[in-house]
Each structure stands twice: as structure tokens, then as C-alpha cells.
Amino acid sequence: MKRQTLLATALMMAAFGALAKQPVDTGHGGAVATISHEASLAAMQILDAGGNAIDAAVAAAAALGVTDPFSCGIGGGGFMLIYSAKDRRVIAIDHREVAPASFHPGVFLDAEGKELDWKATVPNGISVGVPGTVRGWHEALTRYGTMGFDKVLAPAIRVAEEGFAVGPNFHRINKINEAKFARFSTASALYLQDGKALPVGTRFRNPELAQTYRDIARGGVKAFYEGAIAASMVAAVNHPPVTPGTSVIAGGLTMADLKDYEARIRPPIRSTYRGYEIHGMPAPSSGGIAIAQALNLLETFDLAGKPRAEIEHLYLEASRLAFADRNAYVADEEFVDVPRDGLLSKAYARERAKQIGAGAAPGKVAAGDPYPFEDDRSVPLRPQPKPLAQESMHTTHLTVSDREGNVVAYTFTIEDWGGSGIVVPGRGFLLNNELTDFDFSGPHPNLPEAFKRPRSSMSPTIVLKDGAPAFTIGSPGGSTIITTALQTIVNHVDLGMSLADALAAPRMSQRNGETTLVETLLGFPGSEQAKALEAKGHKWRETDQIGAANAIRFNPDGTVTAVSEPLRHGGGSAIVQKQ
């Protein structure tokens, strides 16, 4: 279908109210759930034009790069999980940012060998990893898609050109970034007005990003990783476009770092839970392993008929134990020997579950010893007890399915809200600060090294039952990504909630801390649910909201339900094809 026809179709459907933004939709066709209505519409346009879920996922992601530029974009990286209906298997495309050749373990230490301050390190060239997003999209489209960049980038190019009205959520995150953007002339020009965040209602256009997308549409993946766009990224990292009087730590990125960047096609983490097959993201994300391990721990308990508070208590404690291990052992497996088989073993879970008592653990627990449960015990790596490194909450997750039965669960990011704050001159996109996801000092498996990928928490998850997709879930939110996906699975599978209710329910994030993070947005503190858990010794730390998840349920009657957020992040957009 021609672009004009697509636009006309969208306008016509909008006129009939068929495409009003809503958090849940059910139907028989392809489905999409994202946090941005423009992105969900972009995916629908591609599905309606005959594209598959992979084509539509890239279209949605490109649109999110325009409408949610502080969470994601082509200056960052991500993890895409694909269920290929034809192959009846799940594939993981790792396009995490990689450290440049100039990196080394002391890169985030000062002259005395002390760790640099995390927050102060973010808005600098040194925090920028080689972006993986465009390479990831290319791999997804060429291996599993049916369309090229020219078609799938068209809806996003239109959104970037025509613009959209700044909403409260865009404004909120823009405001958080005022000081960061003020450091860089390009970010100030694009995202500030007289040094302040763009007011709600401002029409925001990004013609330079539209042109960058057009260059990629014309020149393909090479147009991004070689030539003029690559040269402008190298210049922006090594000589950041700072405003007068701003001091900055430059990076050491080269054209070769960009040209040599590769996405990795990896086998996913596969585990089972109460008759479901759970597929998650392998290292360098810790998400797949941590979710599988926590579910293995929970599976050792018979939850049937147990009161809600008991099930939630076990969920919190299982998460605590899984996080102790995740923090100690998981990093880029191309560099370190992660005891993955031990961590995923059901026998290890049975042993470790003995530590879960009737009440909450009084505080942090030590990492366990998965080595006896490994096949290969030749290289034991003992855990390094370290506090949880700083990981705050950003990013975006989207999900798409199509009529052929393909499913995509895709989380991508530029790390912090607004990433490094460096907008590439003339190109309209922000560069990531993903390299601050490394641990700054060691010994630790997640230390910075040249060509290494920092450990992530991103957890796109696809769940099968009897060999066919049952549901998919994923979320943004730093290390709370893991608990959001995990809790949604427990709510749905063990508490029997619909997937929509499971996703909307108040979230509790226990990551081996003294307290559990909970949400004020949904009135959890002071609720009966909270009190029942307090009686078991759980203590809370409050935040306004955790994550902005998206999900799809493949219903037994053959219909599909797309699920987004009713409230968090301003509410998301779920659409199921109607024609």
C-alpha cells in the first residue's frame, strides 16, 4: 500500500473512532501494544499493508524514537525476542551497545583509583556505547521480516516531520533532563526553550531525525555505521557539543568501532513453569536467567488455594534470592564464565528455596553456590558481595503479533532518561549512556572491558503452552524490569488474574534490598494488600510508579488481547487488527 493510502486509512479509521487510544483491545488479527499511540498506529499501518510482526515492531520502535526520545532511539541498543511461527522457535537478537576498543577496567576510576560518581559520569562522551539499534533492526528485518527500511521507517518519518503535541509525560521527563540538556548545545536547541523543558501543548517536530531515518531508508544499515552519520557520532562522542563553560569527559570512539559492530543472534534462556515454557533474554541481559530462577524457586511451593498474601510473600522472597545471584554472577558471557546451568537448575532451586521462610528475610541475603549444579565445575568463580550498582528506571518495551502467528517482544533503550544528553549534531537523536551499566570497580564479572557489553536487566519474555504462544510480557524500568515481568507472570499464572489485570495491578519490586519498592500511583501503601504483607515482615520504599509494561495474550478461543498500561507513563496504546 502507498504511504498516502496508509495515511488515508489511518485518518479514516481515526475518524470512525476505531483507533482511539485504549489500554486493552481484543480481536482476531495482528496485535500491538506500546506506550505511544503513534507507535502503535505505525505498527498497525505496517500490519495492514501486509507486513509481519517483525516489520511492524521495527516501525513501532522507529516511531517511539520520535515520540519517546528520552527512553529509546537509534542512539542506543536493545534486545528483541521473536517467535517465528514458521520455525516454531524463539530467537533472541542481542543488539546491546558495546564498549569501544579504547575501553579498559579503569575507565570509570579517578587518579586515586576511586569510582567516579555515577550520576556525574552519565552526561559525558565516556558513557556512550557503540549503538546497536539500527544493526538489530537490520538483522530482524533481513532474517525474519518481509519489508525493508524504506517501508517500515515511513510512518516514523511522517511523525517526525509532522510532529505531535508535547504531552504531560514527555514534559515530565524533559523537565528531569533540563540540567543535562543544558550542557549540550544540540540538546538545548532541540529539547529546551530558554533553558526550560518544552511546555505541554508545544508542537514538537524533529526534521533532522526524519532526515536521518530517510538516509537509513535509502542507504541501509551501512548509512548508519559507515560514512557521514558514523563520522558525526564519532565527533559527538570524542568532542561533545558542549555549551560554553561546560566541562566534559570525552569518549574514545572510532569509525572502526562502529563499522565492526555486530548484533548477536542468540538462543534464548528457556525454562518451564507450571506447564508453561518461558523464553527470556540471555546474557548480557540478566533478565532471562533471573526470571527463570525466581520461577524455579516459586515452583517448589504448591501455591494452589494459598491466600494472595502468601503467594505474594513467596514471590518477593524468590525475587530476593534470584537477585542475590544475578548481582553476583551475571555479565557478558563472551567475557566471563556465568554459571548459567547451575543458576537455571531445578535442583539448585530446590536447595536454595530452603532459605525462604514464613516471614520476610531481615535484609539482604548472600549469593548462593550454583557450581555444584553446573556440568562443568572446572572454573569456579566465587561471588563478589557488592551492593546493587546504581540502576534507575527508563527505557521502553513494545510487543507485536501477526496473523501468521509470529510474535515480537522488544525492549530497547538509551539507558538513563535522555541517555548521555548528547544529541548528535544535525542528526536529531540522543546518544546512550549504556556504558554506565558496567560496575565501576571490581573484582566483578561486569567490569568495563573493550568490546564487552554491559550487563542489562531488559527482559522481553515469550511464554508458550503446548508449543504455541500463550502470552508475552516486557517492561522498562532498570532492574525493576525483572520484577515487573516476574510479578505479572505470577499474577496471571498463580493468582489467576487476566493478563490485563495482572499488568495493571500494583507492583512490588524486591531486589535483595532491606525494603521493597512499591508504587504510590496505585495507592498500594496503606492498602489491605500492603498490610497483609507487612504482617509477614515486609517493609516498603515508595516511588510514584514502576515500569510501563506491554503484553499480548493469545486466548484459547483464538482471539488475541493486546494489553498496555491504563495509568503508568500516561497510559499506553493497545490495538488489534479489525479488517
Residues known to be catalytic: 395
Cα distances (angstroms) measured from residue 205 to each of 67, 209, 306: 10, 9, 53
Segment interacting with ligand GLU, rule: CB under 6 A, options 119-127, 140-148, 311-319, 453-461: 453-461
Binding of ligand GLU by 413 (CB under 6 A): yes
* Number of shown-chain residues binding ligand GLU (CB under 6 A): 15
Candidates 141, 152, 321, 393; binder of ligand GLU (CB under 6 A) is: 393
Q: Rounded CA gap, 45 and 477, in Å?
A: 28
* 132 among annotated binding-site residues: no
Candidates 151, 183, 214, 394; binder of ligand GLU (CB under 6 A) is: 394
Q: Rounded CA gap, 551 and 564, in Å?
A: 6
Smallest distance, Å, CB 282 to ligand GLU? 14
Smallest distance, Å, CB 453 to ligand GLU? 10
> Which set of grid coordinates corresponds to residue 351?
536447595
Residue with the three cell numbers 530497547: 412
* Cβ proximity to ligand GLU, 95 vs 394, nearer residue: 394
* Cβ proximity to ligand GLU, 251 vs 476, nearer residue: 476
For strands 461-465 and 540-543, give the pairing: unpaired
Nearest Cα to 395, choosing from 479, 470, 462, 330?
Answer: 479
Segment interacting with ligand GLU, rule: CB under 6 A, options 61-69, 190-198, 319-327, 392-400: 392-400
Binding of ligand GLU by 448 (CB under 6 A): no
Binding of ligand GLU by 457 (CB under 6 A): yes
Binding of ligand GLU by 383 (CB under 6 A): no
Q: Alpha helix locations (H) across 205-268?
A: 207-219, 221-225, 228-238, 255-259
* 478 among annotated binding-site residues: yes
* 251 among annotated binding-site residues: no
Binding of ligand GLU by 458 (CB under 6 A): yes
Candidates 45, 395, 472, 488; binder of ligand GLU (CB under 6 A) is: 395
* Cβ proximity to ligand GLU, 241 vs 268, nearer residue: 268
Let me know: does 47 contact 34? Beta carbons within 8 Å: no
* Cβ proximity to ligand GLU, 94 vs 434, nearer residue: 434
Q: Rounded CA gap, 505 and 490, in Å?
A: 11
Candidates 84, 456, 483, 516; binder of ligand GLU (CB under 6 A) is: 456
**What's the Rg (C-alpha) of the chain?**
22
End-to-end CA distance of the chain: 15
> Which set of grid coordinates corresponds to residue 84?
517465528
For strands 269-273 and 264-266, give the pairing: unpaired
CB atoms within 10 A of CB 472: 30
* Cβ proximity to ligand GLU, 332 vs 415, nearer residue: 415
Strand partners, 542: 518
* 456 among annotated binding-site residues: yes
- Residue positions in the annotated binding site for L-glutamate? 96, 437, 456-457, 478
Binding site for ligand GLU (CB under 6 A): 392-395, 413, 415, 434, 437, 456-458, 476-478, 481
